[in-house]
Amino acid sequence: MRQNETRRNNLAISDNTQATSDEMRSPAVKDSQQPVAAGSQRTNKWAVLAIVAIGVFMATLDSSIVNISLPTIARYFGVPLSGPVEWVIIAYLVVTASVLLTAGRLADMLGRKPIWVTGLLIFITGSAICGAAPSLAILIAARGLQGLGGALIMAISPAMLTSAFPAHERGRALGINAVFVALGVSTGPTLGGIITTNLSWRWIFYVNVPIGIIGIVASLLILKEPLHRGKGQFDPLGALLLAIGLATLTLGLSFGQEWGWSSPLLISLLVVSAIAFVALYLVEKRVANPVINLSLLHNRVFLSANLSLILSFLALFAVSFMLPFYLEELHGFSTEQAGLLLTPLPLTIAIFAPVSGALADRFGTRWLAAGGLALACFGLVLISQLNAHSSVWDIIWRLMVTGLGQAMFQSPNNSALLGSAPKGQQGSASGFLATGRVVGQSLSVALAGAIFSSLGGAAAGAALASRHNLPAAQVSALQQTFVSSFHATFIVCAAIAGIGIFASLVRGKERA
C-alpha cells in the first residue's frame, strides 16, 4: 500500500517535479515566422509573462499540494489509501492527458485569450467544488473538472509566451517563468502540510480560488488578443477519439503495475486505446480541419524535438518516481524528509533554465539540447550508483547534475519545437508538447515500475519498510536486492536518454 501511495503521488500531473520542466521552453530563433510590433510588445510582454506565471504556478502548486494531503483525505472519508482515493490523483491526470491536444487546436481556432481565461475559470470552479466536496465521489469528479481547466492552462501557456516575446528574448522569458513553476512544485508539499495541519485539507483547494481570480482579472484587463471567429471548424469526432485513446492509455499505464501487466482489464484498456488511435488516423485524413494537425510532423525539426522530448521524460521522470522509494524504504527517511531531499532537482532547473533559454536564443538549440540531455544521461548513471550507505550530500549533488542537464536540454528543445511551427499553429504545437510530456511521464512510471518490480526491488523495499522486525543478515540481503534493481532501472533509463540525444542531433541545422 505504501508503494501504491508513493507511485500515485509521483505520477500526478503535479504534474510533479518533471512537470515543472514543461514550462521551461523557449522557441527557436525564427523571427520571420512571428513578427513583433515593437512598441506594443515592449509594453505588454512582461505582463503576459506574469499572467502565465500565475496560471502555471497555480497548476503546479495544486498538484504537489494535493499529494502530501492524500492520506488525510483518505482518513476523512474512511477509505484505504490504496483504494478509491487514488482517483483523486488519477482523475486529474487522465482528464488532462485526454484534452491537451484538443485544447491547443481550439486555441488556434478561437484565440489563446478565451481558452486561457476559460481554463482559469474552470480550474478555480473545480477547486471550489473540491474544497466543499461532501463525498469522495464528488471530490473525484471535481478533480476531473480541475484537470480540464489545467489542460487548457498548460496546453497554451507556451504559445502565449511565444507570441508575446520577440525571438531574441523568448528563451530568457520562458526560463524566468520556470522559476515560478519550480516554486509551485517545491513549496507545494510544505505549504500543503502546514495548511492541512493547521486548517483543513479543504483549504489546499480553496487556496487556488483567490490566485485564479487575480489571474482572470489580469487576463481580461491586459491580454489584447481578440476572439477569432470562423477560423476553421471543430472536429468533434476526432476530439472524441483522441480523448478516448489518450485516456485509456494513461489509465492503463497508471494502474498497470497494480493490476498486473497481463490482467484482462489492462489489456482491454490498451486494445481500446489502439483502436481509438487507428480510427482517429482514418478520420483525420478525411476532414478539412483535423483536431491533430499531422502536417506538423512532416517538419523534421518539429518531429525530432517531439521525439527527444518524449524520450527525455521517459528517462528522467523515473527520478521523481523512484527516489521516494529509495529515500523512504532503503534509507528510512520520513515522507517530509524525502520530499525535501528531492527539491535540489527542481531548484537547479529553476536556476539554470533562464541561462539555458538565453543561450538558445543566441547560439541555437541543437547542440545545447543534445549536450544537456547527455549531461542528464550521465546524471542518471550517477544516481544508479546510490546505495544504502550513500550520504545526503551524495544524493544532492547527483540530483543537481541531473537537474542541470534537464535545464540545458528542455528550454532549447522546446524552443526548437515551438519555433518550427507556423504562427497560426502555435496552439497545436503547444498541445503536442504538453501531451508528449504527460505520455512520457506515464510511460516512465510504467517502465521503471516494471523493471524494478521484476527484479525484486519492490518486494525488497516493502520488506525493508518494516526492517525493525528483521535480522541484520536478512536486512543486508534485502538491501542488496533493492540496490541491484535500482541500479538496473536507472541504467535502462540512461540508455533511453542516450537514444534521445541521437534524436536531438538528427533534427539538422536550424535557420537563423
Asked whether the CA dihedral 275, 277, 282, 288 is positive or negative, the reply is positive
Whether residues 187 and 168 share a domain: the answer is: yes
State how far the Cα of 154 lies from the Cα of 253, in Å rounded to an integer.
21
Whether residues 102 and 79 share a domain: the answer is: yes
Whether residues 162 and 242 share a domain: the answer is: no
pLDDT 10s per residue in the chain (512 long)? 445 555 544 444 344 444 444 444 433 333 333 443 333 344 477 888 888 888 888 877 776 677 777 778 877 887 765 667 777 877 888 888 888 878 877 877 777 888 889 999 999 999 999 999 898 889 989 998 998 998 888 888 877 877 777 777 766 776 777 777 777 777 776 777 778 778 888 888 898 899 889 989 988 888 876 666 555 667 778 788 888 888 888 788 777 777 777 788 888 888 998 998 888 888 877 777 777 777 777 788 888 888 888 899 889 888 877 888 888 878 888 766 777 788 888 888 888 888 887 888 777 778 888 899 999 999 999 999 998 888 889 999 999 999 999 888 988 888 788 777 777 677 777 778 777 887 887 788 778 888 888 888 878 877 776 666 767 777 788 888 888 999 999 999 999 999 999 888 877 665 54
List CB contacts of 290: < 8 A, sequence separation 6 or more: 235, 238, 283, 284
pLDDT at 458: 78
State how far the Cα of 217 lies from the Cα of 29, in Å rounded to an integer.
32
Asked whether the CA dihedral 179, 185, 190, 193 is positive or negative, the reply is positive
- pLDDT tens-digit map of 425-446: 777 777 787 778 878 877 887 7
**Nearest C-alpha neighbor of 490 from the set 375, 385, 373:** 385
Whether residues 208 and 246 share a domain: the answer is: no
Its domain, for residue 245, covers: 235-290
Q: How many CB atoms lie within 10 A of CB 240?
A: 17
The CATH number of whichever domain residue 228 belongs to comes to 1.20.1250.20
State how far the Cα of 374 lies from the Cα of 501, in Å rounded to an integer.
6
pLDDT at 487: 92
Residue 404 CA: distances (Å) to CA of 53, 265, 399: 22, 40, 9
Whether residues 224 and 351 share a domain: the answer is: no
| Structural domain total, the chain | 3
In a domain, 14, yes or no: no
Whether residues 167 and 149 share a domain: the answer is: yes
In a domain, 320, yes or no: yes
State how far the Cα of 332 lies from the Cα of 354, in Å rounded to an integer.
35
In a domain, 512, yes or no: yes
pLDDT at 510: 58
Whether residues 165 and 228 share a domain: the answer is: yes
Whether residues 348 and 477 share a domain: the answer is: yes
Q: Domain boundary residue among 182, 207, 232?
A: 232
Q: Domain boundary residue among 232, 262, 280?
A: 232
DSSP 8-state class, residue 289: S
In a domain, 11, yes or no: no
**Nearest C-alpha neighbor of 156 from the set 264, 279, 306, 52:** 52
Whether residues 422 and 362 share a domain: the answer is: yes
In a domain, 23, yes or no: no
pLDDT at 420: 76
Whether residues 181 and 323 share a domain: the answer is: no
Whether residues 316 and 275 share a domain: the answer is: no
In a domain, 3, yes or no: no
In a domain, 30, yes or no: no
Q: How many CB atoms lie within 10 A of CB 360?
A: 33
339: its cell numbers: 520530499
Whether residues 328 and 450 share a domain: the answer is: yes
In a domain, 17, yes or no: no
List CB contacts of 123: < 8 A, sequence separation 6 or more: 58, 59, 62, 146, 149, 150, 152, 153, 208, 212
- pLDDT tens-digit map of 231-246: 566 777 878 888 888 8
**Stated pTM of the model:** 0.77
